Structure 1
């Protein structure tokens, strides 16, 4: 390896490592902020918090890695151009492509590592992360209820004055508001002196045993004026057991896509799953079509008038072959069949649409493993020539360009995935849309940097305005001379 290659590689690696660590730390803080409700005030020990963060770290890599490559490329080549090192290299006959050669080899190696990471490490970490969130309340049930505040636990809002015991499962001063299924009002209140949390790691049910308490329920009468006569129902109990479904503690917003199983699969598993899902969808479509074809026919039990084909041709209006009573029966049956068929089609359409969406999600997860590898290439060939053109290093202008480009990349990528999930375009186009749009920019920047052309030729932009201004000034001068 030549001295120039060693120098460029060392400069880039130092900048890349520094940027990667800083950005990784920032995104980790964002993860903590997103899941702060699950971590704060739940009496979690340090080991559980560290495990939570460790399992969530790999999912950050697809965001941090391309941005780190982009920013490191702009800063490295911007510093070289700002310090006139590129001018010295060009004076020695070394082109931009020759200077980028060793870094291109490193980016190739980094892309392979990124694909391996996305195909093996991220699915495993995603699997562990989801299962850790589901089992954390079973391993430490007291975390579901914070001390001194109301905690949203499934269908209940629970508040305790004090927790004690080895795992904090003994409760004192328990107040429970039971949620209503029909409205947002909490008409049921349960208060008890003491309580105990009992859980089993093999079960998703958390038992809350209450001792020495009262049960209150508001009664809503049919007439409003009777409300003062029946304010509430009160009952006392020595012991009461409430079963809480722990799966309600780990419901995830669908927009975050955290709980989807496609993120836990590698390429081979995704291909196998996609094959099974596609066959299942096709079989359901075929089966539904056959059922509809059988359903639209007229029932066999209805009598049909006999027609002599030799003497009289079959009339165009088939209803004329039946009596008025039979006509009414046929029309009633046809209306019922049409209504039932429409309902069946609508329900099946929504079901098939959801299954197609699931298939699109798996296709998107498959393509994303390759997109992250190509994104490293793309960001490098955007950042390196851009740094050489703007001739600015450090943390000023390069950060502005890097953030703008990466936000554009991330927005297009997210937009494409959302559209493809709803079957607005193919999952392939949705996953690769950002790279297809930004690849011409990489080619243009590389061409302009190679030929020592600036980022924007201001003469080309200002020339039309200068001509317009010149015409107006000439007319103004000529009008003044005439006067």
Structure 2
């Protein structure tokens, strides 16, 4: 690696780290100012607050990672351009592509770090950050952490259950139904106005229940006010936390998605978006690096200010599109992978266009 490569790479990494160290305390200060009254009202213990802000730092840095990276490159490359260092480098016979190499090395280092963070560290921080918010800062605590309405699960290859609503505190569900199939034929169906999980013996109580067993010629109907029985599913699996996928490391997330696919989960798109973003965010480091260098390597009449304005507009446009397409991926019928990667595709084309013009 030549001196110029080490020089640019050092500036790349140092400026990025400085940007993080400058903005994270600002984010923490704003968050404290917004939430201090709520914390005092709820008498949140200090160790919980300290852990929350450790998790907040990791969560916040990961969330705004593209903006920090982009602005840091815009900043120090604009300084190089204003000092005519870029002109001197290119005039020495180094091509623009060769000039870009240390930036891409830096992007690779940041991407690997972001990938490992997203696989293992960010999920744990996300769990702590969001659990704290639901427990101490938002409404009903545990109840709002759960997806309690219209719960539908496939509990085996041929059995399905449904409850219209479920209360995890009382372990009580309403409008319960369970169906068992053999091939395409219904074997039996159980319905109940209420279902309650009994923690002392891990059984379920069905209230105002009906069990219809389908026969070859005649059906057998059983009706009762209460029936205690054992059912082959874990009651806690009915109500996973609404952000459960964000709290799992990469390997646990893969297993969780496979299990939810078999169950026919209605939240599959949400889980897949979390998985695909673990890959798309690190790739965005390369795309934003190329755009930032192409935009800021030219010396402009307005100086660094013009480059920073352009950089801020592009960075926030990227984050805005990433959020919009992320929501569409969760809610629409379009393939989640396509929508998650679409911002990278659009800005990748923009990066190639800007790079082509910069070479000229």
Q: TM-score range by the shorter chain?
A: 0.5 to 0.7
Change (3 A) 1:135 1:390: same
Match of 1:13 in 2: 13
In structure 1, distance between residues paired with 2:134 and 2:332: 31
Matches within 5 A, 1:181-330: 259-281=242-264
Larger Rg: 1
Task: Report the Cα offset of residue 131 of structure 1.
Answer: 4.4
Are the structure 2 counterparts of residues 41 and 132 from structure 1 closer, same or farther at C-alpha, using a change threshold of 3 Å? Answer: closer
Deviation at 1:360, TM superposition (A): 0.2
Q: Distance in 2 between matches of 1:260 and 1:40?
A: 26
Match of 1:439?
A: 348
For residues 426 and 134 of structure 1, the distance between their equivalents in structure 2, rounded to whole angstroms, comes to 31
**Counterparts of 1:10 and 1:43, CA distance in 2:** 45
Pair 272,75 (structure 1): closer, same or farther in 2 beyond 3 Å: same
- Distance of aligned partners of 1:40 and 1:74 in 2 relative to their CA distance in 1, 3 Å threshold: same
- The TM-score with structure 2 as length reference comes to 0.66
Count of paired positions = 264
- Which has the larger strand fraction? 2
Deviation at 1:7, TM superposition (A): 1.9
CA distance in 2, matches of 1:392, 1:115: 38
Task: State the alpha-carbon separation in 2 of the partners of residues 74 and 403 from structure 1.
Answer: 9
| Residue 22 (structure 1) shift | 2.0
The 5 Å alignment of 1:156-167 reads: none
Q: Secondary structure in 1 aligned to 2:312?
A: helix
2:277 is matched with 368
CA distance in 1, matches of 2:304, 2:27: 18
Alignment of 1:115 onto 2:115: yes
How far off its partner does 1:278 sit?
1.8
CA distance in 1, matches of 2:335, 2:29: 34
**Aligned match of 2:26:** 26
Match of 1:68 in 2: 68
- Cα gap change, 1:447/1:132 in structure 2, threshold over 3 Å: closer, same or farther? same
Does residue 377 (structure 1) correspond to residue 286 (structure 2)? The answer is: yes
Aligned match of 2:106: 106
Check 1:110–1:88 CA distance in 2 against 1; reply closer, same or farther (3 A cut): same
Contact 2:126 2:246 in 1 (8 A): yes
39-48 or 374-383, larger mean C-alpha shift? 39-48
The answer (yes or no) to whether the contact 1:77–1:384 under 8 Å persists in 2 is: yes
Q: TM-score by structure 1 length?
A: 0.50
**Which segments of 5 or more consecutive residues in structure 2 lack a partner in the other structure?**
142-167, 171-240
Does the CA-based 8 Å contact 2:84-2:299 persist in structure 1? no
How far apart, in 2, do the equivalents of 1:383 and 1:30 lie? 28
2:336 is aligned to: 427
SS class of match (2:332) = coil
Q: Give the root-mean-square deviation of aligned CA atoms.
A: 2.9
Separation of aligned partners in 1, 2:318 and 2:86: 28
1:407 Cα shift?
1.5
Contact 1:130–1:259 (CA<8 Å) still a contact in 2?
no
Q: Which residue of 1 aligns with 2:321?
A: 412
Match of 2:87 in 1: 87
Aligned pair in 2 of structure 1 residues 271, 398: CA closer, same or farther (>3 Å)?
same
